[in-house]
A and B are shown apart, each in its own frame.
Chain A
Amino acid sequence: MEKFMLIFQGGGPSENASPEFMQAQMGKWMAWIDKLSKAGKYVSGEPLLPGGKLIKGKSKTVTDGPYTEGKEIVGGYFILTAENYDEAVKLCDDYPDYENGGSIQVRQVMKM
């Protein structure tokens, strides 16, 4: 079994999303995690707040950011277990934010 990291980019609700939409969207996330957990695939995951800090260069300059475009903002991540990339990609089927412009970066975790 390999570990994979799913990095979610963009797809967050628009500024004027309705409460009803948000509740429905949340329900879909919960159902997805529930399904992955029951299949023994889900390891962990966290949502991320927007904004942040960027530290760069020899002088370790700290700036606010990253201020990327909405569709590139990382909104959270999952760690899953899967046999291979094929299975990992398949497990992304129920990601609720495709239709809201979201995308997933699937990365295999390197074994020590």
Chain B
Amino acid sequence: MLVVKLLSFETMEQRADSVHSLVDHLFRHESGKMVSVLSRLLGLQNLEAAQDIVQDTLLQAMNTWGYNGIPENPSGWLYRVAKNKAIDLLRRQKKFKEISPQYSYLLQSEYTLSSTVNNFFLDDEIQDSQLRMMFACSHPSIPEESQIALTLKTLCGLSVHEIAKAFLTNDDAISKRIYRAKEKIVSERIELNVPQGKELPERLDVVLKSLYLLFNEGYSSSHPDKLIRDDLCEEAIRLTYLLTLQSVTNLSRVNALLSLMCLQASRLQARVDDKGNIILLKYQDRSKWYKPLIERGTAYLELASEMGEASPYHLEAAIASLHAVAPSFEQTDWKSIYDLYKSLYQMQPVPIVALNKAIASAYAINKEKALEQLLKIKGLENYYLYHTSIGEIYFEMENKGQAKKFYETALHLTTSHQEQELLKRKIASCEVV
């Protein structure tokens, strides 16, 4: 069960030490670590060379482990092979020494070459390299969709084809996004640095936004393959967790975002039925919500609050936690949720927050008030959930004619098979006299 894995972040970071079986996704996660470390060593401008070394290393592991079994320390084995390949490359090609100027003098001398490379593969340095890579992938000059694709490719070890599958697009589209990102790395001379001082919070916000979008892609998308959705959520949580491990990035808003992700992920099992249909919050079986993840999310929210600050992530996490502790949809603290959405709307006056605020007001105040707010929202005309929500309110006000009209508009706007099924059922229920 995925949520069990999600709970144990530590094991996601842990290395396989069992001789008999490997931790799930070991290759994928080690690939992300090694690409980060090698890019730091060779310079980010040589990202491709770093990726080639990692690919060769994993191929070698696949062949030898497949025949001879898993070595005692699989991660150590991978690092040793990758290190040797990197040292070979540095010896053979002088140009690499020139490109990573910070370490070039250490890499030029045979006396210091091996020990310098070794130092990069120490635990703390691996984490540090991943952190630098996160900032590089979410560099503000790289377009948002390219940021996510690059993060999935370099830090999460997904192939172009796997990313394309996750985003329901073709390989070419993803290749282009990654190409654009790599172009920016060269033209903007992006290096693997953790921003300092005043620049840090701003740059961190871009990283968080990218992780937030990655999580939502897994959580909110109606991708037919549940495993893929779960994977995206898991990767987003893993990387956000990584940020909390580093003192420079362990900020209040990072904990708030991690809290939000945990609380949302606790509902992953309950929001889809056996046939893959989406179940709305109102109709979810709350006993299927994964309690340990709720506890974890609550703990991160407390931590985030103690650290001060009230970012949008704090408010969203607080809203998610009110849902998580509510015994039923009706017994939810809608009043507080509505207030939180009001504050969120002040920070982020965007239509989607207005939509959520309006929905909350239906239960916090009354349906008439909600309808009034909903009909005033501009900019969501092509968003199916906007029309579904209005239909829902009309339906609850017993105005089935209007409800049907809005459900039908929504039906035309969504391409998701699951959503279409849900809407067809709603339309049918409007027709029953």
Q: List the interface of chain A (C-beta within 8 A of B).
A: 12-13, 15-23, 25-27, 29-30, 33, 45-47, 75-76
User: What is the bound-complex CA distance between A12 and B63, given in angstroms?
Assistant: 9
Q: Can you list 10 A-B contacts (CB < 8 A)?
A: A16-B160, A18-B157, A19-B30, A19-B58, A20-B158, A21-B159, A22-B61, A23-B22, A23-B62, A46-B67
Chain B: residues with Cβ within 8 Å of the partner, total of: 25
Instruction: For A16, give the chain B residue with the smallest CB separation.
Output: B159
In the complex, which residues 48-72 of chain B have their Cβ closer than 8 Å to any Cβ of chain A?
55, 58-59, 61-67, 69-70
Contact present for A25 and B62 (CB under 8 Å):
yes
Q: Choose among B25, B62, B70, B162 the residue with the greatest number of A CB atoms under 10 Å from its CB.
A: B62
Instruction: For A47, give the chain B residue with the smallest CB separation.
Output: B63
Q: Choose among A17, A23, A33 the residue with the greatest number of B CB atoms under 10 Å from its CB.
A: A23
User: What is the bound-complex CA distance between A46 and B63, given in angstroms?
Assistant: 9
Given contacts A23-B25, A30-B69, contact A18 B63 (CB under 8 A): no
Q: Verify if B209 is at the interface (C-beta below 8 Å from A).
A: no
Given contacts A16-B159, A16-B160, A17-B159, contact A22 B67 (CB under 8 A): no
What is the interface of chain B mostly: helix, strand, loop, or mixed? helix
User: What is the bound-complex CA distance between A79 and B63, given in angstroms?
Assistant: 17
Q: Which residues of A contact B66 (CB under 8 A)?
A: 25-26, 29-30, 33, 47
Partner of B28, one of A20, A45, A47, A75: A20
Q: Verify if B26 is at the interface (C-beta below 8 Å from A).
A: yes
Q: A18-B161, A22-B61 are in contact. List 16 more A-B contacts (CB 8 A).
A: A12-B59, A13-B59, A13-B62, A16-B159, A16-B160, A17-B159, A18-B157, A18-B159, A19-B58, A20-B27, A20-B158, A21-B159, A26-B65, A30-B70, A33-B67, A47-B63
Contact present for A20 and B67 (CB under 8 Å):
no
Q: Which residues of A contact B70 (CB under 8 A)?
A: 30
